[in-house]
Protein backbone atom coordinates (compact mmCIF):
# COMPACT_ATOMS: atom_id res chain seq x y z
CA UNK A 1 0.00 0.00 0.00
CA UNK A 2 1.38 3.41 -0.95
CA UNK A 3 2.25 5.85 1.76
CA UNK A 4 -0.56 8.34 1.42
CA UNK A 5 -1.57 10.75 4.14
CA UNK A 6 -5.30 11.55 4.02
CA UNK A 7 -4.91 14.99 5.58
CA UNK A 8 -2.22 16.00 3.11
CA UNK A 9 -4.14 14.56 0.18
CA UNK A 10 -7.16 16.58 1.30
CA UNK A 11 -4.97 19.69 1.34
CA UNK A 12 -3.75 19.09 -2.23
CA UNK A 13 -7.31 18.59 -3.50
CA UNK A 14 -8.51 21.68 -1.64
CA UNK A 15 -5.65 23.65 -3.20
CA UNK A 16 -6.48 22.33 -6.69
CA UNK A 17 -10.21 22.93 -6.30
CA UNK A 18 -9.61 26.50 -5.13
CA UNK A 19 -7.42 27.23 -8.15
CA UNK A 20 -9.98 25.62 -10.48
CA UNK A 21 -12.66 27.82 -8.90
CA UNK A 22 -10.54 30.89 -9.60
CA UNK A 23 -9.55 31.57 -5.98
CA UNK A 24 -5.83 31.77 -6.72
CA UNK A 25 -3.57 34.44 -5.26
CA UNK A 26 -0.16 35.56 -6.39
CA UNK A 27 0.62 37.14 -3.03
CA UNK A 28 -0.08 34.03 -0.97
CA UNK A 29 2.70 31.47 -0.54
CA UNK A 30 0.12 28.71 -0.92
CA UNK A 31 -0.94 30.16 -4.28
CA UNK A 32 -4.58 30.36 -3.26
CA UNK A 33 -6.64 33.09 -1.60
CA UNK A 34 -6.75 32.02 2.02
CA UNK A 35 -9.14 34.85 2.86
CA UNK A 36 -11.69 33.38 0.44
CA UNK A 37 -11.44 30.06 2.28
CA UNK A 38 -11.90 31.89 5.57
CA UNK A 39 -14.98 33.56 4.10
CA UNK A 40 -16.43 30.23 2.93
CA UNK A 41 -15.82 28.46 6.23
CA UNK A 42 -16.38 31.35 8.60
CA UNK A 43 -13.18 30.29 10.34
CA UNK A 44 -10.01 32.24 11.00
CA UNK A 45 -7.19 32.49 8.49
CA UNK A 46 -5.01 30.49 10.90
CA UNK A 47 -7.40 27.52 10.84
CA UNK A 48 -7.74 27.72 7.06
CA UNK A 49 -3.98 27.74 6.74
CA UNK A 50 -3.93 24.45 8.65
CA UNK A 51 -6.34 22.97 6.09
CA UNK A 52 -4.13 24.07 3.22
CA UNK A 53 -0.96 22.79 4.90
CA UNK A 54 -2.50 19.37 5.47
CA UNK A 55 -2.45 19.75 9.22
CA UNK A 56 -6.21 19.49 9.78
CA UNK A 57 -9.44 18.42 8.09
CA UNK A 58 -12.68 20.38 8.64
CA UNK A 59 -15.65 18.75 10.29
CA UNK A 60 -18.22 17.13 7.93
CA UNK A 61 -20.73 20.00 7.79
CA UNK A 62 -18.01 22.52 7.01
CA UNK A 63 -16.54 20.16 4.41
CA UNK A 64 -19.92 20.14 2.63
CA UNK A 65 -19.97 23.96 2.61
CA UNK A 66 -16.45 24.15 1.18
CA UNK A 67 -17.22 21.55 -1.49
CA UNK A 68 -20.40 23.38 -2.53
CA UNK A 69 -18.54 26.69 -2.84
CA UNK A 70 -15.83 25.08 -4.94
CA UNK A 71 -18.28 23.09 -7.11
CA UNK A 72 -16.80 19.71 -6.23
CA UNK A 73 -18.19 16.64 -4.48
CA UNK A 74 -17.54 16.47 -0.71
CA UNK A 75 -16.52 12.82 -1.12
CA UNK A 76 -13.93 13.73 -3.73
CA UNK A 77 -12.59 16.58 -1.63
CA UNK A 78 -12.08 14.29 1.34
CA UNK A 79 -11.12 10.99 -0.25
CA UNK A 80 -10.22 11.70 -3.87
CA UNK A 81 -10.95 9.72 -6.96
CA UNK A 82 -10.42 6.30 -5.40
CA UNK A 83 -13.60 6.65 -3.36
CA UNK A 84 -15.62 8.18 -6.17
CA UNK A 85 -17.17 6.48 -9.15
CA UNK A 86 -13.94 5.90 -11.05
CA UNK A 87 -15.50 5.64 -14.50
CA UNK A 88 -17.52 8.81 -14.07
CA UNK A 89 -14.59 10.79 -12.69
CA UNK A 90 -12.18 9.75 -15.43
CA UNK A 91 -14.59 11.02 -18.06
CA UNK A 92 -14.99 14.44 -16.51
CA UNK A 93 -12.84 17.54 -16.77
CA UNK A 94 -13.16 20.51 -14.45
CA UNK A 95 -12.14 23.87 -15.88
CA UNK A 96 -13.16 27.42 -15.09
CA UNK A 97 -15.68 28.98 -17.49
CA UNK A 98 -13.28 31.86 -18.17
CA UNK A 99 -10.53 29.53 -19.39
CA UNK A 100 -12.90 27.41 -21.44
CA UNK A 101 -14.23 30.55 -23.10
CA UNK A 102 -10.67 31.70 -23.76
CA UNK A 103 -9.80 28.40 -25.44
CA UNK A 104 -12.92 28.50 -27.62
CA UNK A 105 -12.26 32.09 -28.65
CA UNK A 106 -8.65 31.31 -29.59
CA UNK A 107 -9.30 27.94 -31.24
CA UNK A 108 -10.71 29.42 -34.43
CA UNK A 109 -7.16 29.70 -35.78
CA UNK A 110 -6.88 25.91 -35.77
CA UNK A 111 -9.58 25.54 -38.40
CA UNK A 112 -7.75 27.94 -40.70
CA UNK A 113 -4.28 26.55 -40.00
CA UNK A 114 -2.19 23.69 -41.31
CA UNK A 115 -3.57 21.06 -38.94
CA UNK A 116 -5.89 18.41 -40.33
CA UNK A 117 -9.45 19.43 -39.38
CA UNK A 118 -10.13 15.93 -38.06
CA UNK A 119 -7.26 16.31 -35.58
CA UNK A 120 -8.60 19.57 -34.12
CA UNK A 121 -11.09 18.04 -31.63
CA UNK A 122 -8.44 15.68 -30.21
CA UNK A 123 -5.91 18.49 -29.96
CA UNK A 124 -8.39 20.73 -28.14
CA UNK A 125 -9.45 17.93 -25.78
CA UNK A 126 -5.80 17.31 -24.91
CA UNK A 127 -5.20 21.00 -24.33
CA UNK A 128 -8.31 21.36 -22.15
CA UNK A 129 -7.21 18.32 -20.17
CA UNK A 130 -3.68 19.75 -19.75
CA UNK A 131 -5.04 23.08 -18.54
CA UNK A 132 -7.41 21.38 -16.10
CA UNK A 133 -4.50 19.49 -14.54
CA UNK A 134 -1.92 22.22 -14.11
CA UNK A 135 -1.63 24.21 -10.91
CA UNK A 136 -1.44 27.64 -12.48
CA UNK A 137 -3.05 31.04 -12.23
CA UNK A 138 -5.54 32.12 -14.91
CA UNK A 139 -2.93 34.41 -16.44
CA UNK A 140 -0.36 31.62 -16.60
CA UNK A 141 -2.96 29.25 -18.07
CA UNK A 142 -3.86 31.74 -20.81
CA UNK A 143 -0.19 32.06 -21.75
CA UNK A 144 0.07 28.28 -22.01
CA UNK A 145 -3.06 28.14 -24.17
CA UNK A 146 -1.55 30.74 -26.52
CA UNK A 147 1.76 28.85 -26.74
CA UNK A 148 0.06 25.50 -27.37
CA UNK A 149 -2.26 26.88 -30.05
CA UNK A 150 0.55 28.66 -31.84
CA UNK A 151 2.60 25.44 -31.77
CA UNK A 152 0.25 23.93 -34.32
CA UNK A 153 1.58 26.18 -37.03
CA UNK A 154 5.22 25.93 -35.94
CA UNK A 155 7.33 22.82 -35.85
CA UNK A 156 4.59 20.74 -37.35
CA UNK A 157 7.06 18.17 -38.55
CA UNK A 158 10.08 17.88 -36.26
* Residue 4 near other proteins by CB under 8 A: yes
Half-sphere CA count of 76, side-chain side, radius 13 A: 21
Mark 82-121 with x for binding to other proteins (rule: CB under 8 A) and - for no binding.
--------x------------------------x------
Distances (CA, A) of 121 to 111, 144, 151, 152: 10, 18, 16, 13
Chain centroid, CA 1 distance in Å: 27
Rounded Cα gap, residues 6 and 4, in angstroms = 6
Q: Which is nearer to other proteins, 35 or 90 (CB)?
A: 90
Instruction: Return the range that interacts with other proteins (CB under 8 A); candidates 39-47, 57-65, 96-104, 135-143.
Output: 135-143
Rounded Cα gap, residues 125 and 158, in angstroms = 22
Q: Which is nearer to other proteins, 38 or 152 (CB)?
A: 152
Q: Smallest distance, Å, CB 61 to other proteins?
A: 26
Rounded Cα gap, residues 94 and 152, in angstroms = 24
- Residues near other proteins (CB under 8 A) are 2-5, 8-9, 12, 16, 54, 80-81, 90, 115, 123, 126-127, 129-130, 133-136, 143-144, 146-158
Amino acid sequence: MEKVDLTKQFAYRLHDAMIAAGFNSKRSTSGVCIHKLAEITGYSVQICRKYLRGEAIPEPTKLVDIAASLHVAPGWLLFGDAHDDANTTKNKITLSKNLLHYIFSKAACLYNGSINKLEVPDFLMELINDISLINASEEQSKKIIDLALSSVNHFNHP
